[in-house]
Chain A
Amino acid sequence: EIVLTQSPATLSLSPGERATLSCRASQSIFIYLAWYQQKPGQAPRLLIYDASNRATGIPARFSGSGSGTDFTLTISSLEPEDFAVYYCQQRSKWPLTFGGGTKVEIK
């Protein structure tokens, strides 16, 4: 199965700062990667699909990039509601797999 490794595990930043989250795949997944945001007690929310496409209603401060094995989620300027856990997920091969998550916390 394809293993997704997210780094860092925790990112401590202040509101207004830029967040850069990484997801690395164990083999090429082309562009078939999504990013989700999860807040405590809530279901994940789709942010980015196929590496760089924002899902419906997602603010422009969220952007995704990458292809092959290396992907990045960037939040250009953190808003208070952006502090959460972020997961990547691949759809290139069965079984679908998720990364272990990056927690973005308030510094």
Chain B
Amino acid sequence: QLQLQESGPGLVKPSETLALTCTVSGGSISSGTYCWGWIRQPPGKGLEWIGSVWYTGITYYNPSLESRVTFSVDTSKNQFSLKLTSVTAADTAVYYCARRYCSNDVCYFFDYWGQGSLVTVSS
């Protein structure tokens, strides 16, 4: 059974960098059949797609965050990571990592999700 688990600091100071890692177990991150994504949800609000990354390192970012976000992949550890710079209180959210199934160069929807990691931006 595939599992995804987010990890990282729960508290980040304003203007600093938020860093989270998603560890995948029960499956290989290196499979070309999947791409991996980050989605966030401010408390009491809706979902926002942050971006997606393939094991090859190819990335797509949400234009609203593109100037501040970077993804990376570590296939040896079966992990992928998110860095978000210059954070403000507006970046306070539950951050989810998730998987999309891909076939014939088409990627579908998020079928597996991590449990989510609450990150609070506060001094």
- Which residues of chain A have a CB within 8 Å of any CB of chain B? 1, 34, 36, 42-46, 49-50, 55-56, 87, 89, 91, 94-101
Does A87 contact B49, Cβ atoms closer than 8 Å?
Answer: no
Chain B interface, DSSP helix/strand/loop, else mixed:
strand
Which of B11-19, B24-32, B109-117 touches A? B109-117
Does B49 contact A44, Cβ atoms closer than 8 Å?
Answer: no
Does B47 contact A87, Cβ atoms closer than 8 Å?
Answer: yes
Cβ-defined partner of A43 (8 Å) among B60, B61, B64, B113: B113
Minimum CB–CB distance from A60 to chain B (whole Å) comes to 19
Binary CB contact string for chain B from 1 to 16 against chain A (1 if under 8 A, 0 otherwise): 0000000000000000
Cβ-defined partner of A44 (8 Å) among B48, B60, B63, B113: B113
Does B110 contact A101, Cβ atoms closer than 8 Å?
Answer: no
Q: Which residues of A contact B56 (CB under 8 A)?
A: none
Does B109 contact A44, Cβ atoms closer than 8 Å?
Answer: no
- A89 CA to B64 CA, complexed, in Å: 17
A-B contact count (CB 8 A): 56
Does B46 contact A49, Cβ atoms closer than 8 Å?
Answer: no
- Which residues of chain B have a CB within 8 Å of any CB of chain A? 37, 46-49, 52, 60-64, 96, 98, 107-111, 113-116
- A98 CA to B109 CA, complexed, in Å: 12
Minimum CB–CB distance from B102 to chain A (whole Å) comes to 11
Q: Nearest residue in B to A95 (C-beta to C-beta)?
A: B62
Which of B60, B62, B110, B115 has the most chain A CB atoms closer than 10 A to its own CB?
B110
Does A89 contact B63, Cβ atoms closer than 8 Å?
Answer: no
Does B46 contact A87, Cβ atoms closer than 8 Å?
Answer: yes
- A45 CA to B111 CA, complexed, in Å: 7
